[in-house]
């Protein structure tokens, strides 16, 4: 990391005591969850803790996305040891959001995929628009399994705590995002009709709530989770098996064990020929 990468993100402090943190796209058209953004988010939390706002809203600085996912090229270039460290650091930094003493709300008005949704899931609440840029629906979900990977920044642990575990596990195991116009109940704490309304709605929501850490899979109905994991294993794919294992590990041994399982599986899956082919094809699309 460079010194520039460690600079805090833009923090807009408001007269009512709240703060809006803007996630930058950098040189890309969309915001991507890469090592630089993780480091800058860590520095931003440091800055917020030094002068605590009454509440915080995380929002994108571009209308093209909330966070469009992780940087697959960056992940592909890392050694196994470096990838493990990368995932450990990401889990640590996102975990700081979950334990922040004042409310943090994610304002989602565009694509929130992979690490982007995991970022939002660590916030104390999610406010989402049904329609994004140009009044069109956008994807929100965990598509990693479609590339032969599994979520590794807490996605397997947190989505099932927010929505029906059957829907959560199936969508994660298949790597199938939801449409913003058809979000399952519980994914967003509050919805608005359009992108233009989401920031104000998120600020209002944050100002009227108490900080509370996100729910995880242990808060879901255990029988429902086990049934969903059995269905995931029936897909007979390494990624679906990994998702099921992360969730079952958490139910048996706790959240930290589930997070360790995520890290183990993404490193293992990344090295398979099928996953490497899928990632290469994805990267070559652009």
- For the chain, what is the domain count? 1
pLDDT digits 0-9 by tens, 259-280: 999 999 999 999 999 999 999 9
* Domain at 205, CATH number: 3.90.226.10
- Within a domain: 5: no
- Within a domain: 249: yes
- Within a domain: 4: no
CA distances from 178 to 55, 112, 142, 224, 268 (A): 28, 10, 9, 20, 27
pLDDT digits 0-9 by tens, 21-39: 999 998 899 999 999 999 9
CA distances from 147 to 99, 108, 226, 273 (A): 31, 24, 24, 11
**Radius of gyration of the chain from its Cα atoms, rounded to whole angstroms:** 18
pLDDT tier, 213 (very low <50, low <70, confident <90, very high otherwise): confident
- Within a domain: 3: no
Q: Phi and psi at residue 69, in whole multiples of 5°? A: 135, -175
- Within a domain: 65: yes
Q: Which ranges of 51-114 would DSSP assign to H, the alpha helix?
A: 72-77, 80-98
User: 98-107, 190-199, 212-221: which range is least confident on average?
Assistant: 212-221
Predicted local distance difference test score (pLDDT) of residue 286 = 61
pLDDT at 218 over 70: yes
- Within a domain: 275: yes
- What separation, in Å, do the N-terminal and C-terminal C-alpha atoms of the chain show? 26
- Within a domain: 91: yes
Task: Return the residue matching tokens 């703060």.
Answer: 19
Q: Which domain holds residue 119?
A: 10-284
114 in Cβ contact with 209 (< 8 Å): no
Predicted local distance difference test score (pLDDT) of residue 77 = 94
């Amino acid at each position: 990391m460079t010194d520039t990468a460690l600079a805090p993100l833009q923090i807009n402090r408001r007269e009512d005591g709240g703060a809006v943190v803007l996630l930058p796209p950098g040189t890309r058209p969309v915001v991507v969850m890469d090592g630089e953004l993780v480091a800058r988010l860590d520095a931003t939390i440091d800055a917020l803790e030094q002068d605590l706002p009454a509440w915080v809203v995380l929002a994108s600085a571009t209308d093209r996305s909330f966070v469009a996912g992780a940087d697959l090229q960056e992940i592909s270039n890392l050694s196994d040891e470096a990838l493990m460290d990368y995932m450990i650091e990401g889990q640590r930094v996102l975990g700081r959001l979950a334990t922040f003493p004042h409310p943090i709300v994610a304002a989602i008005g565009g694509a929130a995929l992979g690490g982007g949704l995991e970022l939002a899931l660590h916030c104390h609440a999610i406010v989402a628009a049904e329609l994004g840029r140009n009044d069109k629906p956008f994807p929100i979900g965990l598509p990693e399994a479609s590339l032969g990977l599994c979520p590794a920044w807490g996605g397997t642990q947190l989505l099932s705590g927010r929505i029906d575990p059957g829907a959560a596990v199936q969508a994660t195991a298949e790597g199938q995002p939801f449409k913003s116009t058809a979000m399952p109940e519980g994914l967003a704490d509050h919805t608005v009709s359009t992108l233009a309304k989401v920031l104000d709605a998120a600020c209002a929501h944050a100002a009227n709530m108490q900080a509370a850490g996100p729910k995880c899979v242990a808060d879901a109905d255990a029988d429902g989770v086990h049934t969903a994991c059995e269905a995931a294993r029936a897909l007979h794919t390494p990624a679906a098996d990994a998702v099921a294992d992360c969730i079952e590990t958490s139910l048996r041994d706790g959240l930290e064990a589930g997070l360790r399982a995520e890290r183990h599986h993404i490193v293992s899956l990344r090295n398979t020929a099928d996953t490497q082919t899928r990632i290469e094809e994805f990267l070559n699309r652009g």
